[in-house]
Structure 1
Amino acid sequence: MLRWISSFLFFLSFSLAEETHWSLRPLEKPPIPKSAYSNPIDAFISQQLKNAKLSFSDPADKRAWIRRVYYDLIGLPPSPAVINNYLNTDQPNAEELLVDKLLASPRHGERWARHWMDVVRYAETHGHDEDAIRENAWPYRDWLIGALNNDMPYADFVRAQVAGDMIIAEVPGATAATGFLACGPWDSSSQMGISDGTIDKKIAQYLDRDDMLSATMSTFTSTTVHCARCHDHKFDPVSLEDYYSLQAVFAGVDKADRLFDIEPETSIKRSKLLAEQRNFEKQINDPKIAKEASSWARKLQQNLPIWDPLNLKEIISSADTPHTVLPDNSILFRGDAPEKDTYGISGTTKLNKLTAIKVEVLTDPSLPMNGPGRAPNGNLHLSEIQVNIDDTPAPIERASADFNQTDWEINKAIDGKKETAWGIHPQEGKSHHSIFIFKEPISISKLTAIKITLDQVHGGSHLIGRLRIDLTGSKYPDAELKIPEKIAKIIRASKDEQSPRHKGALALHYLRTKNSENLATLPDPGKVFAVTSNFTAIGNFKPAIKPRKVHILERGNIHSPKEIATPGALSCIPDLQSRFQIPKESNEGTRRLALADWLADKNNVLTWRSIVNRVWHYHFGRGIVSTPNDFGKMGSVPTHPNLLDWLAVEFRNQGGSLKWLHKKIVLSETYRQSTNDRPECQSIGTENKLLWRMNRQRLDAESIHDTVLSLSGMLDLTMGGPSARQFTSKKGIHVTPTLDYLNFNPDDPANFRRSVYRFVFRTVPDPLMEALDCPNASQLAPRRASSVTALQALAMLNNRFLVRQSEHIATKLKNEADPINELFLRAYGRPGTASEIMDFTKYKDEHGLANACRIIINSSEFLYIQ
Structure 2
Amino acid sequence: AADAKNAAVLLTPENEPAVARWVEVHGKSAGAEWLPLTLDTFLSSDRSTLTREADGSVSAGGDRPEKDTYTVAATTAFTNVTALRLEVLRDERLPMKGPGRQDNGNLHLSEFEVRLLAAGSTNGTKLKIKRATADFDQEGWTIQHALDGNEKTAWGIYPRVGESHVAVFEFESPVKLAAGAKLVVALKQLHGGGHLIGRFRLSATDSPGANAEAVLPLVSAGLKVSREQRTAEQRLAIAAHALRQHAQDESAKLPAPAQVFAVKFGMEPKPVHILKRVDIDKLGKLAEPGALAAIAELPGRFALANPKREADRRVALADWLADPRNPLTWRSAANRVWHFHFGRGLCDTPSDFGKMGGVPSHPELLDWLACELRDGGSLKRIHRLIVTSATYRQSSQCLVTSNQSSARRPLITNHLPLTNHFSDPTTTDANNTYLWRMNRSRLDAESFRDAVLTVSGRLDLTLGGPGVQHFKLSKGPQATPKVDYTPFDWDAPGAGRRSIYRVVWRGIADPFMEALDFPDAALLQPTRPFSASALQALTLFNNDFVLRHSEHFAARVEKLGADAPSRAKAAVRLAFQRAATPEEVRAMSAYAEQHGLAALGRVLFNSNEFLFIN
CA distance in 2, matches of 1:419, 1:780: 47
CA distance in 2, matches of 1:397, 1:478: 19
Q: Which residue of 1 aligns with 2:172?
A: none
User: For the Cα contact (< 8 Å) 2:289–2:313, is it kept in 1?
Assistant: yes
- 2:552 partner SS: helix
User: For the Cα contact (< 8 Å) 2:94–2:100, is it kept in 1?
Assistant: no
1:859 paired with 2:587, answer no
Q: Which residue of 1 aligns with 2:441?
A: 697
Of 297, 310, 322, 1:588 maps to 310
1:723 paired with 2:452, answer no
CA distance in 2, matches of 1:690, 1:338: 82
Q: Which residue of 2 aligns with 1:642?
A: 364
1:262-298 CA distances to partner (integer Å, 9 max, x unpaired)? xxxxxxxxxxxxxxxxxxxxxxxxxxxxxxxxxx994
CA distance in 2, matches of 1:568, 1:671: 40
Of 591, 594, 597, 2:319 maps to 597
Cα 1:521/1:854, change in 2 over 3 Å: closer
Percent identity (aligned): 38
Measured after TM superposition, the shift of residue 724 of structure 1 is 1.4
Q: Which residue of 2 aligns with 1:676?
A: 397
* Superposed counterparts of 1:163-202, under 5 Å: none
User: For the Cα contact (< 8 Å) 2:138–2:157, is it kept in 1?
Assistant: no
* Superposed counterparts of 1:706-721, under 5 Å: 706-721=450-465
1:779 paired with 2:510, answer no
Of 358, 373, 386, 1:651 maps to 373
CA distance in 1, matches of 2:608, 2:309: 56
- 1:739 partner SS: strand
Q: Which residue of 2 aligns with 1:664?
A: 385
User: For the Cα contact (< 8 Å) 2:89–2:98, is it kept in 1?
Assistant: no
Measured after TM superposition, the shift of residue 360 of structure 1 is 4.7
User: For the Cα contact (< 8 Å) 1:773–1:787, is it kept in 2?
Assistant: yes
1:415-473 CA distances to partner (integer Å, 9 max, x unpaired)? xx6858993469699546546799xxxxxxxxxxxxxx996555769974314854225
Cα 1:743/1:381, change in 2 over 3 Å: closer
CA distance in 2, matches of 1:397, 1:378: 17
Of 591, 594, 598, 1:850 maps to 598
1:119-146 CA distances to partner (integer Å, 9 max, x unpaired)? xxxxxxxxxxxxxxxxxxxxxxxxxxxx
Measured after TM superposition, the shift of residue 848 of structure 1 is 1.4
User: For the Cα contact (< 8 Å) 1:359–1:433, is it kept in 2?
Assistant: yes
- 1:734 partner SS: coil
CA distance in 1, matches of 2:601, 2:148: 57
User: For the Cα contact (< 8 Å) 2:111–2:189, is it kept in 1?
Assistant: no
Measured after TM superposition, the shift of residue 584 of structure 1 is 3.7
1:471 paired with 2:218, answer yes
CA distance in 2, matches of 1:707, 1:317: 74
CA distance in 2, matches of 1:338, 1:562: 67
Q: Which residue of 2 aligns with 1:274?
A: none
Cα 1:848/1:314, change in 2 over 3 Å: closer
Q: Which residue of 1 aligns with 2:484?
A: 740
Q: Which residue of 2 aligns with 1:576?
A: 298
CA distance in 1, matches of 2:150, 2:523: 49
Cα 1:554/1:399, change in 2 over 3 Å: farther
Measured after TM superposition, the shift of residue 685 of structure 1 is 0.9
- 2:356 partner SS: coil
CA distance in 1, matches of 2:39, 2:190: 17
Measured after TM superposition, the shift of residue 858 of structure 1 is 0.4
Q: Which amino acid aligns with 2:367?
A: D
Q: Which residue of 2 aligns with 1:815?
A: 559
Of 496, 502, 505, 1:761 maps to 505
CA distance in 2, matches of 1:756, 1:629: 23
Of 76, 93, 100, 1:372 maps to 100
- 1:607 partner SS: helix
User: For the Cα contact (< 8 Å) 1:402–1:433, is it kept in 2?
Assistant: no
- 1:401 partner SS: coil
Q: Which amino acid aligns with 1:594?
A: A
Measured after TM superposition, the shift of residue 551 of structure 1 is 3.3
1:410 paired with 2:143, answer yes
Cα 1:752/1:560, change in 2 over 3 Å: farther
CA distance in 2, matches of 1:741, 1:312: 56
Cα 1:822/1:642, change in 2 over 3 Å: same
With normalisation by structure 2, the TM-score equals: 0.67
Cα 1:809/1:420, change in 2 over 3 Å: same
The structure where helix makes up a greater share of residues is 1
1:838 paired with 2:565, answer no
Cα 1:418/1:810, change in 2 over 3 Å: closer
CA distance in 1, matches of 2:246, 2:317: 44
User: For the Cα contact (< 8 Å) 2:573–2:579, is it kept in 1?
Assistant: yes
Taking CA–CA contacts closer than 8 Å with sequence separation of 6 or more, which of the two structures ends up with the larger relative contact order? Answer: 1
- 1:670 partner SS: coil
1:668-708 CA distances to partner (integer Å, 9 max, x unpaired)? 22222222323233243122222222222211111111111
Cα 1:685/1:396, change in 2 over 3 Å: closer
CA distance in 2, matches of 1:597, 1:610: 16
CA distance in 1, matches of 2:393, 2:452: 26
Measured after TM superposition, the shift of residue 602 of structure 1 is 1.0
User: For the Cα contact (< 8 Å) 1:373–1:463, is it kept in 2?
Assistant: yes
Measured after TM superposition, the shift of residue 480 of structure 1 is 6.2
Q: Which residue of 1 aligns with 2:136?
A: 401
- 2:508 partner SS: coil
1:826 paired with 2:574, answer yes
Q: Which amino acid aligns with 1:423?
A: A
User: For the Cα contact (< 8 Å) 2:71–2:187, is it kept in 1?
Assistant: yes
Measured after TM superposition, the shift of residue 397 of structure 1 is 11
- 2:391 partner SS: helix
CA distance in 2, matches of 1:371, 1:808: 63
CA distance in 1, matches of 2:313, 2:329: 19
Q: Which amino acid aligns with 2:596?
A: G
CA distance in 1, matches of 2:188, 2:309: 54
Measured after TM superposition, the shift of residue 762 of structure 1 is 2.3
User: For the Cα contact (< 8 Å) 1:725–1:750, is it kept in 2?
Assistant: no
Measured after TM superposition, the shift of residue 612 of structure 1 is 0.8
CA distance in 1, matches of 2:254, 2:559: 57
1:467-496 CA distances to partner (integer Å, 9 max, x unpaired)? 48542253451546999xxxxxxxxxxxxx
Q: Which amino acid aligns with 2:218?
A: L
Measured after TM superposition, the shift of residue 815 of structure 1 is 2.8
Cα 1:338/1:768, change in 2 over 3 Å: closer
With normalisation by structure 1, the TM-score equals: 0.49
Q: Which amino acid aligns with 1:853?
A: G
User: For the Cα contact (< 8 Å) 1:372–1:429, is it kept in 2?
Assistant: no
CA distance in 2, matches of 1:615, 1:383: 65
CA distance in 2, matches of 1:555, 1:361: 69
CA distance in 1, matches of 2:505, 2:534: 25
- 2:547 partner SS: helix
Measured after TM superposition, the shift of residue 739 of structure 1 is 1.8
CA distance in 2, matches of 1:562, 1:865: 55
User: For the Cα contact (< 8 Å) 1:399–1:410, is it kept in 2?
Assistant: yes
Of 526, 546, 557, 2:259 maps to 526
- 1:631 partner SS: coil
- 2:384 partner SS: helix
CA distance in 1, matches of 2:135, 2:439: 68
- 1:646 partner SS: helix
Measured after TM superposition, the shift of residue 844 of structure 1 is 1.2
Measured after TM superposition, the shift of residue 713 of structure 1 is 1.4
Structure 2 residues not aligned, in runs of 5+: 1-5, 20-31, 44-49, 78-84, 115-129, 170-182, 202-215, 223-237, 406-424
Measured after TM superposition, the shift of residue 557 of structure 1 is 5.0
